[in-house]
């Protein structure tokens, strides 16, 4: 290849890299609200997302808010329902102003890989048991985790329900220039890898409890 050819190739690669860098974060931090009176919150999220969830619940037309999540990280596995992210998230929502009777925790028992999917499966079974099967709902989560969360919840629930997604921006970095901070680089790169796994390598048929 000639020097001019190499230059063109280099410029094309550079342009593609810039395009990906500028668009990957908004791609991952997806927002797609659906019309529903059910709000689901991933219980592991930080308090800034909990506050956003409380505000979303109180300003929307929601009737109930459900928290999901398995054993708290670092505890060695499932002990009881109150030692789960679902329980922690529910407590924080009440502290943020949501009435206790409007909050329902739906704790999962699974640990290790694919915790988001197992949490979604647990919620699906709870909905089936309590007459909510087929209901559309919104899931609120943090930042670049959103597209993966929506994907895994939709896989768990199948075509009978439409899963909306609400992404709360991480205040610790500028999403338009995520590569300028360690927090942004860590978040976007890790979630990019996790999304590729969820989209192309994840096999749910063998993992439904």
Question: For the chain, which domains are there?
Answer: 3-206 (3.40.50.620)
Q: For the stretch 5-23, what's the b/e string if a residue is b when 16 or more beta carbons lie within 10 angstroms of its beta carbon?
A: eeeeeeeeeeeeeeeeeee
Alpha carbon distances (Å) from 198 to 71, 96, 155 = 21, 32, 10
Q: Give the pLDDT of residue 73.
A: 74
Cβ 86 vs Cβ 69: under 8 Å:
yes
Please determine, for residue 106, whether its predicted confidence score (pLDDT) is greater than 90: yes
Mean pLDDT of the chain: 88
The pLDDT assigned to 5 comes to 60
Residue 21's pLDDT is 56
State how far the Cα of 138 lies from the Cα of 52, in Å rounded to an integer.
Answer: 13
Cβ partners under 8 Å of residue 196, min gap 6: none
| 132-155 confidence digits (pLDDT tens) | 999 999 999 999 999 999 999 999
- Binning the chain into helix, strand and coil, the percentages to the nearest 5 are 55, 15, 30
pLDDT tens, residue by residue, 20-63: 556 789 999 999 999 999 999 999 999 999 999 999 999 999 99
pLDDT band at residue 16 under the 50/70/90 scheme: very low
Give all strands (DSSP E) within 19-114, no chain letters: 38-42, 64-69, 103-107
pLDDT of residue 89: 97
pLDDT score recorded for residue 81: 81
pLDDT score, position 19: 45
164 vs 182: CA distance, rounded Å? 29
Confidence band, pLDDT 50/70/90 cuts, at residue 104: very high
Residue 18 has pLDDT above 60, yes or no: no
List, in order, residues 6 or more apart from 182 with CB less than 8 Å away.
none
C-alpha count within 13 angstroms, C-beta hemisphere, residue 16: 6
């Amino acid at each position: 290849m000639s020097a001019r050819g190499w230059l063109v190739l280099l410029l094309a690669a550079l342009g593609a890299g810039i395009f990906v860098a500028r668009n990957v974060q908004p791609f991952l931090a997806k927002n797609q609200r659906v019309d529903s009176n059910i709000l689901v919150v991933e219980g592991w999220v930080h308090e800034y997302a909990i506050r956003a969830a409380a505000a979303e619940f109180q300003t929307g037309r929601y009737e109930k808010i459900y928290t999901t999540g398995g054993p708290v990280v670092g505890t060695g596995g499932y002990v009881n329902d109150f030692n789960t992210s679902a329980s922690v998230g529910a407590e924080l929502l009440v502290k943020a102003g949501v009435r206790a009777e409007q909050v329902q925790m739906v704790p999962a028992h699974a640990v290790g890989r694919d915790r988001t999917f197992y949490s979604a499966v647990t919620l699906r079974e709870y909905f089936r048991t309590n007459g909510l099967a087929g209901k559309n709902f919104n899931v609120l989560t943090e930042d670049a985790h959103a597209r993966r969360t929506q994907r895994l919840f939709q896989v768990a629930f199948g075509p009978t329900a439409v899963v909306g997604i609400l992404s709360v921006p991480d205040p610790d970095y500028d999403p338009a220039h995520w590569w300028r901070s360690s927090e942004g680089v860590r978040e976007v790169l890790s979630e990019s890898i996790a999304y590729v796994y969820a989209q192309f390598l994840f096999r749910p048929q063998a993992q439904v409890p």
